[in-house]
Amino acid sequence: MSRLHNASRRRFLKVFGTATGALVVGLPALAWTPDELLGQNLFQLGPYVRIEPDGTTVIGARDPEVGQGIRTAEARILAEELDADWTRVIVEPLDLGVTNANGDPHWTYGHQMASGSTSVPAAWNDLRSVGTAARELLLRAAAAQWKTGVATLRTSHGVVIAADGRKLGYGELAEAASKLKPANAPAKPKTSAQYRLVGQDAGDVDARDIVTGRQPFAIDAGYGDTLVAVIAHCPWPGGRLAHLDDAAALKVKGVEKVMTIPAPDPARALGTQQLAAGIAVLAHDTWTALQAIAKLDVRWQAGPRPVQGDDALAGASEAAFAGDPTKSVRTDGDFAETAKRAPHKFKADYRFATIAHADLEPPNALVKVDSQQAVVVAPVQNPRATFDTVRRLTGLAPEKITIRLPRAGGGFGRFLETDYVAEAVMLAKAVGKPIKLMWTRAEAFAHDTYRPFSVHKLEACADRKRALTGWTHRIASTSRLADREPRPRQWLSEMHPDDLPAGLVDNLHYAWFALDSVLPRGSYRASSHAVNAFATECFLDEIAHGLKQDALKFRLALLGEPRKLSYRGHGGPVLDTGRLAWVLQLAADAIGWSKPHPQGHGFGLACHFTFGGYVAHAVEVSMEKTRLVIHNVVCAADLGRIINPLGARASLVGATLDGFSTALRERITVKGGRIVQQGFKDYPLATMAQMPHDVQVILVPSQENPTGAFDMGFPSAAPALANAIFAGTTVRVRRLPLWAELMRLL
Amino acid sequence: MTRLWQTPAKPQTRCGLNATCNPAAAAREHCKGTQYNCGMMPQVPQTPPTEIVPQPIREGVDVTINGEHYRHTGDPDMPLLWYVRDVLRLTGCKYGCDDQSCGACSVLVDGKLQRACALSMQDIAEADITTVEGLARAGGALHPVQQAWIDEDAILCGYCQAGQIMAAMALLARKPQPSDADIDSIANLCRCGSYPRIRRAIQRAAKTMRDKAK
């Protein structure tokens, strides 16, 4: 679906980024780019669509592709309203759309970020009208040519068809259409009954390039005179360089320079967070740089604050829990009073290891910078933050900064940060040549923005009818917003006041306690939903077991009659208990929950509301000696309207496996003040042999607005697995990584 | 799809003024201190040699990559990974780790699956290497394994998939009818969780290849 650029197309896309400032995203207003800049035979019908005389339809995808399938989904949304011939569609990634608004950036393409499954909802809002507007222009162009009324015409698969059967392809009409003024009133979008692309399967638009090795990831980009920079950071967080002798490294043939990245300045973060002190070796190729960096004679000095591992943080959490919460997140009724008189009481502590992102593509950035312009090619999830970092370091005007958005080899939150981009900009500026900065795998593990460590204390009580009457959930965590937000706001990333069972239990208390850590922390897939759902869903399972109730019936009774609860925060404003109950029921039915279970097999359930999506998992496992066999997995999801079922399934299956892998064996440990893990050998991602052969996905048909799909399958996967393990082994695992804890308890 | 790499000008190893100059030749004394490493001072005017002058064989490692013949005269310890990526600009082969654990740089060496990060150029002298770029036939017809990956949409972020495809190539060469256990022997890592689709893609490719062989 993609094809090679020619020079004029590349230039055209660049023009997009700089010359279309008058465009207002989401409105069918069109701006015109001077013909001489477009080359010949190219007709632009908006910032996201271009139709060529041969009918080829080029759709610009604005959000970064990190494996969530956004390029495909966005193109399908736009092509649907355009009524394009999908076989003639080519999808091009757009750069960050930015122009100069009196010295400040004006973001011309609207939403451009891969985070929190927000791209598809935003695209659904903005991009349909772009397709509709382009189609309306083509219809009017045809009407003018045939001297007939627009109302008598219809479109199908990239062709305008007259009442008498005459046809004109979009390509034949493009030139005339591009000279028309857009209508004042926006044209009506299609009704869902008219959809023929949205809701149908579409393979990834980059698939052919990926299987032939031609898909350019950031790590594959370069300019002819690029110097490769390989970096070694101070292994102690917050530490600095104590001694450097680079004579031996500089003697390596092909080495150009050795440069240092200064120790972090607490007053000024150069990226989205502090950069670690580092030494970069600049050479003509990667291998030379790697050899030279090994020849550096270097000593580092540890930072002023001690680096604590999870065990030390767990100790600190006990002291924190003994005091008042940093933030009382929600209080309904009176838990203490209710619990006093309750016949059934439950208590459990859960604990979650610090973990790393482990994207297969390590942090890297190609940066070209001079006094006139800066160009960045990097794996990027947050292009605006990347822009801000480049601007801070170069002082260039907004329109002089180009942020390209190549497909990224994963993301999961790591590429929301800009530390590696900041390093490359500093090096490129200093050396006056384009820099290709590469982090090794060991550097990626040692200098990640880790998922926060947390300890969860849960208590609950039930009445004589075995219904839940009280619930407390207290979390002590190393908030990822520490060092970024004032303390009173740091709970926001750690706990959601309206997460269930809030609203279902009369006496409820949510509280958050701050834990300090020197390790950098950052956003991670599904944010704190992942760990909070694990604690909540496993504790619910414990309670159901303690009350001798079926885990499904207990949950359904707790969810009660379908109703809409108020939900503040991302995914709101409402949480529909009926939709959650329905996916739970679907998952349970599909795995055969109420049928006789095979001897020795454990079944587990979990569900969660994440960013507006409702997902439930059902898992069947057995232990064969010390081997965990995952027999069956079902993931049922209600994500509103599904743009591309094939892509949504990929996201849900992937999230399920990622959820298992993350929970089973992954953890970051600290020894002697530094990170122990150096590679996948001591940070074992799950292999094919360890993972289920398939995940059965059930998508609930829905006319609701789409929620996106990438994060939603993550939070409920691991607790369903842990609950299944309990059912199969009677061992309750309350600590991640799960595998180590299970082996300890068995 | 944009290629930002441009092939850089080859470093000049000859002065270009004398056809007999050879950088590998031992006799370099006559022009030390010039910008050329060929070791020969410009001689102007110059008469072309009237008879064939024998040259010593250049040092280097001969390799065949995707059917093309190359001679690598740089560092013989350079890993194949960086040779294909930095020198040949065949970037389908990906860097993912330093301990052979991820498989993103998987290639076929004389038909056998190997990690390009762990092979030095001298290790593979005279060997026949296939990278993911070498699977499709000239003219663009995809290999059944590649087509199966597309048909099963086994993509997600896509970073590991070239390596996964090479692992599948090696597996299918050994086991035309792979069992689930055979497929489980593939140890290439995927953070995104594309394993179920990879499994189906391998089975689909196996069927296509068996059908074609009939």
- The reply to whether B24 falls in a domain is no
Is the domain of B124 the same as that of B167? no
- The reply to whether A164 falls in a domain is yes
- The reply to whether B49 falls in a domain is no
- The reply to whether A510 falls in a domain is yes
B99 touches chain A (CB under 8 A): yes
Is the domain of A144 the same as that of A268? no
- The reply to whether A2 falls in a domain is no
Neighbours of A77 (CB within 10 A): 25
- Token output for A107: 């973001």
Domain end marker among A403, A438, A473: A438
* Residue A187 pLDDT: 80
- Token output for A400: 């002089």
A327-332 and A49-51 strand pairing: unpaired
* Residue A495 pLDDT: 97
Q: Chain A residues with CB inside 8 Å of B156's CB? A: 67, 650, 654
Is the domain of A457 the same as that of A427? no
- Provide the CATH number for the domain around residue A99: 3.30.365.10
Q: Are A286 and B2 within 8 A, CB to CB?
A: no
d(CA A212, CA B135): 7
Is the domain of A529 the same as that of A640? yes
Of A212, A221, A658, the CB nearest to B133: A212
- The reply to whether B44 falls in a domain is no
A11 touches chain B (CB under 8 A): no
Q: How many residues does chain A have?
A: 746
- The reply to whether A443 falls in a domain is no
Q: Chain B residues with CB inside 8 Å of A290's CB? A: 82
Q: Chain A residues with CB inside 8 Å of B100's CB? A: none
State which amino acid sits at residue A104. Answer: D
Is the domain of B67 the same as that of B92? yes
Is the domain of B177 the same as that of B158? yes
A613-624 and A602-610 strand pairing: antiparallel
CB-CB contact of A593 with A602 (8 Å): no
Q: Which of B139, B94, B138 has the alpha carbon at shortest distance from B117?
A: B94
A412 touches chain B (CB under 8 A): yes
Q: Are B162 and A407 within 8 A, CB to CB?
A: no
- The reply to whether A344 falls in a domain is yes
What is the DSSP code string of A553-590? HHHHHHH-S--EEE--STT-SEEEHHHHHHHHHHHHHH
Q: Are B158 and A66 within 8 A, CB to CB?
A: no
Please report which confidence band the pLDDT of residue A672 belongs to, taking 50, 70 and 90 as the band edges.
very high
Is the domain of B103 the same as that of B64? yes
Of A285, A646, A658, the CB nearest to B193: A658
B173 touches chain A (CB under 8 A): no
Is the domain of A70 the same as that of A56? yes
State phi, psi for A423 to the nearest 5 degrees: -60, -45
- The reply to whether B118 falls in a domain is yes
Q: Is A730 left (phi over 0), alpha (psi -120 to 50) or beta?
A: left
Is the domain of A425 the same as that of A466? no
Q: Which of A633, A642, A620 has the alpha carbon at shortest distance from A723?
A: A620
pLDDT at A517 over 70: yes
Q: Are A206 and B99 within 8 A, CB to CB?
A: no
Is the domain of B127 the same as that of B151? no
Instruction: Output the CA torsion sign for B176, B179, B184, B189.
Output: positive
Residue A563 belongs to domain spanning:
310-355+449-745
Q: Chain A residues with CB inside 8 Å of B165's CB? A: 211
A145 touches chain B (CB under 8 A): no
A507-514 and A401-404 strand pairing: unpaired
Domain end marker among B134, B152, B180: B134
Q: Are A286 and B160 within 8 A, CB to CB?
A: no
Q: Chain B residues with CB inside 8 Å of A362's CB? A: 95-96
Cα atoms in the Cβ-side hemisphere of radius 13 Å centred on A614 = 25
Is the domain of A434 the same as that of A388? yes
pLDDT at A224 over 50: yes
Is the domain of A147 the same as that of A264? no
Q: Which of A475, A521, A482, A515 has the alpha carbon at shortest distance from A499?
A: A475
d(CA A732, CA A336): 26
Higher confidence at residue A488 or residue B10? A488
Q: Chain B residues with CB inside 8 Å of A661's CB? A: 191, 193
Domain end marker among B134, B153, B175: B134
CA separation (Å) from A683 to A347, A667, A677, B191?
32, 7, 6, 12
Cis peptide before B45 (omega within 30 of 0): yes
d(CA A415, CA A632): 33
Q: How many domains does chain A fold into?
A: 3
d(CA A76, CA A728): 44
d(CA A122, CA A575): 20
pLDDT one-digit tens code per residue, A519-533: 999 999 999 999 999
Domain end marker among A211, A243, A258: A211
d(CA B170, CA A426): 43
* Residue A604 pLDDT: 98
- Provide the CATH number for the domain around residue B86: 3.10.20.30
Is the domain of B142 the same as that of B214? yes
pLDDT at A188 over 90: no
- The reply to whether B99 falls in a domain is yes
Is the domain of B87 the same as that of B156? no
Of A219, A410, A647, the CB nearest to B191: A410
Q: Which of A401, A542, A473 has the alpha carbon at shortest distance from A97?
A: A401
CB-CB contact of A197 with A75 (8 Å): no
Find the mean pLDDT for residues A656-685.
Answer: 97
Q: Chain A residues with CB inside 8 Å of B104's CB? A: 360
* Residue A261 pLDDT: 94
A7 touches chain B (CB under 8 A): no
DSSP letter, residue A50: E
Is the domain of A119 the same as that of A256? no
Domain end marker among A413, A438, A463: A438
- The reply to whether B160 falls in a domain is yes
pLDDT at A602 over 50: yes
Find the mean pLDDT for residues A239-250.
Answer: 97
User: Å from A635 to nearest chain B CA?
Assistant: 14
Q: Are A206 and B155 within 8 A, CB to CB?
A: yes
Q: How many domains does chain B fold into?
A: 2
A90 touches chain B (CB under 8 A): no
A211 touches chain B (CB under 8 A): yes
- The reply to whether B148 falls in a domain is yes
What is the DSSP code string of A696-722? EEEEPP--SPP--STTTTSTTHHHHHH
B97 touches chain A (CB under 8 A): yes
* Residue A481 pLDDT: 96
Cβ neighbours for A398, distance < 8 A, ≥ 6 positions apart: A98, A99, A100, A101, A103, A104, A105, A106, A387, A391
State phi, psi for A461 to the nearest 5 degrees: -145, 155
Q: Chain B residues with CB inside 8 Å of A220's CB? A: 5, 85, 91
Q: Chain B residues with CB inside 8 Å of A407's CB? A: 157-158
Is the domain of B126 the same as that of B187? no
Alpha helices in A200-257 (DSSP H): 207-211, 247-251
A359 touches chain B (CB under 8 A): yes
Q: In what order do the strands lie in the sheet with A154-156?
A: A154-156, A159-161, A167-169
pLDDT one-digit tens code per residue, A404-418: 999 999 999 999 999
Q: Chain A residues with CB inside 8 Å of B135's CB? A: 212
Is the domain of A370 the same as that of A388? yes
- The reply to whether B196 falls in a domain is yes
- The reply to whether A663 falls in a domain is yes
d(CA A302, CA A555): 50
Tokens 């959820």 sit at which residue? Answer: A659
State which amino acid sits at residue A381. Answer: Q
A650 touches chain B (CB under 8 A): yes
d(CA B208, CA B214): 10
CB-CB contact of A270 with A393 (8 Å): yes
A374-377 and A401-404 strand pairing: parallel
Cβ neighbours for A731, distance < 8 A, ≥ 6 positions apart: A725, A742, A745, A746
Q: How many beta-carbon pairs below 8 A join chains A and B?
A: 213
Is the domain of A507 the same as that of A604? yes
Q: Are B150 and A208 within 8 A, CB to CB?
A: yes
When the pLDDT of each residue in chain A is averaged and rounded to a whole number, the result is 92
Domain end marker among B85, B105, B134: B134
* Residue A33 pLDDT: 36
pLDDT one-digit tens code per residue, A73-122: 999 999 999 999 999 999 989 999 999 999 999 998 889 999 999 999 99
CB-CB contact of A610 with A87 (8 Å): no
Is the domain of B168 the same as that of B102? no
B185 touches chain A (CB under 8 A): yes
- State which H helix or E strand residue B114 sits in: strand B112-115
Task: Report chain A's terminal Cα–Cα distance, integer Å.
Answer: 52
B141 touches chain A (CB under 8 A): no
State phi, psi for A150 to the nearest 5 degrees: -60, -35
Of A212, A647, A679, the CB nearest to B101: A679
Least confident of A176-180, B83-87, B152-156, B157-161: A176-180
pTM comes to 0.90
DSSP letter, residue A305: S
Task: Report chain B's terminal Cα–Cα distance, integer Å.
Answer: 37
Q: Is residue A346 exposed (0-12), middle (13-18) or buried (19+ Cβ within 10 Å)?
A: buried
pLDDT one-digit tens code per residue, A608-650: 999 999 999 999 999 998 899 999 999 999 999 999 999 999 9
- Token output for A315: 């100790």
- The reply to whether A1 falls in a domain is no
CB-CB contact of A340 with A460 (8 Å): no
- Provide the CATH number for the domain around residue B184: 1.10.150.120
B131 touches chain A (CB under 8 A): yes
Please report which confidence band the pLDDT of residue B1 belongs to, taking 50, 70 and 90 as the band edges.
very low
User: Can you tell me the ipTM of this complex?
Assistant: 0.93
- The reply to whether A665 falls in a domain is yes
Residue B87 belongs to domain spanning:
59-134
Is the domain of B176 the same as that of B142? yes
Is the domain of A251 the same as that of A351? no
Interface of A with B in 262-291 (CB under 8 A): 285-288, 290
Is the domain of A602 the same as that of A721? yes
A627-638 and A696-699 strand pairing: parallel
A627 touches chain B (CB under 8 A): no
